[in-house]
């Protein structure tokens, strides 16, 4: 992938990615919906002809990204405002979604005002939202919290949804008879919004691309278990820039084995972004997000071994067993645990479903109705930060290849990711200017002879030393 590496180096020297500006429809080109429930003063709404239509919600700022070919469909949406928490969870329920991805930064401004970027829309809530949630058609309960061992600031929440009561269900125990589903909510909280294009090629830039690649490969595996009809929901703040970048990466990773040349890769990226922009404005909004997509794909092509990207999870709070089997348990009522008509349970999950449902139900009920066992954001963020620093400090000489904890090589690791664009490493950094950062990173990457289908090494090549790309 020498051409891709050279392209990224050129963009780093220029402080921008000029090819990004050649993509079609960089700005809105169709009528959009202005609505007070949108973020940023109501103006960043979906295209009027590509709104997500729901029976349970009159309006929601969400767009179906269902035109990318044979892959699973996505929903790109904004981070819910306080007024739309109930709408969001009704959308999750109606679509039958089991995976939600939150890409807002932990330092993004919290609130629902015109300049605010994020809110916490899952439990534990503050007093006001907790009181309101008792009247929502679909109510979330956090039953477990996990932290990823390899990706600093990737947190996975196990959410139990209690849906609308079925017709004819009443009585004093009606709350316990509401249908229930289990959802995984992933929050990657270190992706800076609108960093300077001057940071392309910097240590934070590659560290973020490396983390995003791990997340995308993990999500691809999880989503594949849910089938081609599953709607995966993804949002950042507005649901366009970081969201579009991750969805584009998921799509290109699926197509990667069929791409032969760098020109094929360029075309696939262009086609995916422009297709998404038919459905939602500003998908992949900045040139640095465009460059992040290329950087993640370069790292994947040079590290083709799936085991290197396996993620492990540490249960930080709650009683939920950290198992993806929870997603294979279909919607059920606490009395009987039945599968509802029209939702056939996957064969792989049938044998253990009863036991899993019972364990989850017992876990959800132990704290009493409405109570969660999720530690507060500030405590968890501190625990995650400490875990990330510990992982980085223990890298030693293992580098990227087969490392137990995710990080760039020791020379390029960031112990604590920047919280705003101004803290990114400057392109004036002497090591960046003379290329030593790129050289240090390349020294620990797998050698590559082409795109993915050309990178199955012969037995005699598997133990070759990792070498600088310039010598290929």
User: Can you tell me the mean pLDDT for 315-325?
Assistant: 65
Would you list the domain boundaries of the chain?
Answer: 2-313+370-454
CATH class of 2-313+370-454: alpha beta
User: Can you tell me the mean pLDDT for 393-412?
Assistant: 33
User: Can you tell me the mean pLDDT for 376-383?
Assistant: 51
Cβ neighbours around 399 below 10 Å, total: 21
Q: Residue 347: pLDDT band by 50, 70, 90 thresholds?
A: very low
Q: What is the pLDDT of residues 197-251, one digit of tens each?
A: 999 999 999 999 999 999 999 999 999 999 999 999 999 999 999 999 999 999 9
Q: Residue 114: pLDDT band by 50, 70, 90 thresholds?
A: very high
Residue 343 has pLDDT above 70, yes or no: no
Dihedral of the CA atoms 51, 57, 61, 64 (nearest 10)?
Answer: -40
Question: How many CA atoms lie less than 13 Å away from 201 in the CB half-sphere?
Answer: 28
Q: List the one residue out of 99, 253, 111 whose CA is nearest residue 182.
A: 99
Question: How many CA atoms lie less than 13 Å away from 58 in the CB half-sphere?
Answer: 2
Q: List the one residue out of 400, 454, 472 whose CA is nearest residue 213.
A: 400
Residue 400 has pLDDT above 70, yes or no: no
Give the long-range contacts of residues 215-219, CB within 8 A, separation 24 or more.
Answer: 215/101, 215/151, 215/154, 215/186, 215/188, 215/246, 216/246, 216/249, 216/250, 216/253, 216/296, 217/253, 217/300, 217/306, 217/309, 218/309, 218/311, 219/99, 219/101, 219/186, 219/250
Residue with tokens 């139990």: 160
- Which pLDDT belongs to residue 403? 31
pTM here is 0.74
What is each CA distance from 440 to 39, 278, 452, in whole angstroms? Answer: 42, 40, 23
Q: What is the pLDDT of residues 404-455, one digit of tens each?
A: 334 443 332 222 333 232 232 233 333 322 333 333 333 333 333 346 544 4
């Amino acid at each position: 992938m020498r051409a891709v590496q050279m392209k990224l180096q050129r963009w780093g020297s220029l402080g921008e990615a000029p090819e990004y500006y050649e993509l079609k429809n960089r700005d809105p080109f169709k009528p959009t919906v202005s609505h007070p429930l949108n973020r940023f003063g109501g103006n960043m709404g979906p295209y009027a002809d590509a709104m997500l239509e729901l029976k349970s919600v009159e309006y929601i700022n969400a767009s179906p990204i269902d035109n990318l070919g044979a892959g699973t469909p996505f929903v790109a949406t904004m981070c819910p405002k306080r007024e739309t928490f109930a709408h969001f969870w009704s959308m999750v329920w109606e679509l039958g979604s089991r995976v939600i991805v939150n890409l807002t930064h932990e330092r993004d401004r919290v609130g629902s005002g015109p300049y605010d970027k994020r809110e916490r829309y899952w439990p534990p809530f503050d007093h006001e939202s907790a009181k309101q949630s008792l009247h929502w058609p679909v109510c979330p309960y956090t039953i477990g919290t996990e932290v990823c061992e390899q990706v600093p600031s990737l947190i996975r929440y196990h959410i139990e949804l209690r849906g609308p009561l079925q017709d004819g269900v009443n009585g004093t125990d009606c709350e316990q008879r509401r249908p229930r589903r289990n959802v995984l909510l992933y929050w990657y909280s270190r992706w800076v919004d609108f960093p300077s294009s001057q940071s392309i090629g910097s240590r934070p830039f590659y560290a973020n691309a490396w983390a995003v690649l791990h997340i995308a490969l993990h999500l691809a595996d999880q989503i594949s278990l849910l089938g081609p009809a599953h709607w995966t929901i993804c949002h950042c703040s507005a649901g366009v820039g970081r969201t579009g970048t991750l969805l584009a990466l998921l799509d290109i990773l699926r197509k990667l084995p069929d791409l032969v040349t760098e020109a094929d890769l360029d075309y696939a990226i262009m086609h995916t972004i422009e297709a998404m922009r038919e459905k939602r404005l500003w998908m992949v909004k900045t040139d640095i997000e465009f460059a992040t997509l290329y950087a993640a794909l370069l790292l994947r092509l040079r590290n083709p071994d799936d085991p290197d990207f396996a993620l492990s999870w540490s249960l930080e709070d709650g009683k939920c067993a950290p198992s993806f089997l929870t997603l294979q348990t279909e919607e059920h009522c606490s009395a009987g645990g039945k599968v509802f008509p029209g939702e056939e349970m996957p064969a792989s999950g049938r044998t253990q479903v009863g036991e899993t449902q019972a364990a989850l139900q017992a876990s959800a009920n132990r704290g009493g109705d409405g109570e969660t066992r999720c530690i507060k954001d500030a405590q968890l963020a501190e625990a995650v930060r400490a875990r990330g620093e510990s992982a980085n400090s223990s890298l030693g000489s293992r580098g990227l290849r087969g490392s137990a904890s995710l990080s760039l090589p020791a020379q390029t690791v960031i112990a604590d990711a920047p919280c705003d664009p101004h803290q990114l490493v400057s392109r004036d950094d002497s090591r960046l200017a003379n290329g030593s950062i790129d050289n240090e990173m390349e020294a620990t990457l797998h050698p590559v002879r082409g795109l993915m289908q050309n990178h199955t090494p012969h037995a005699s090549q598997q133990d070759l030393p990792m070498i600088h790309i310039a010598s290929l």
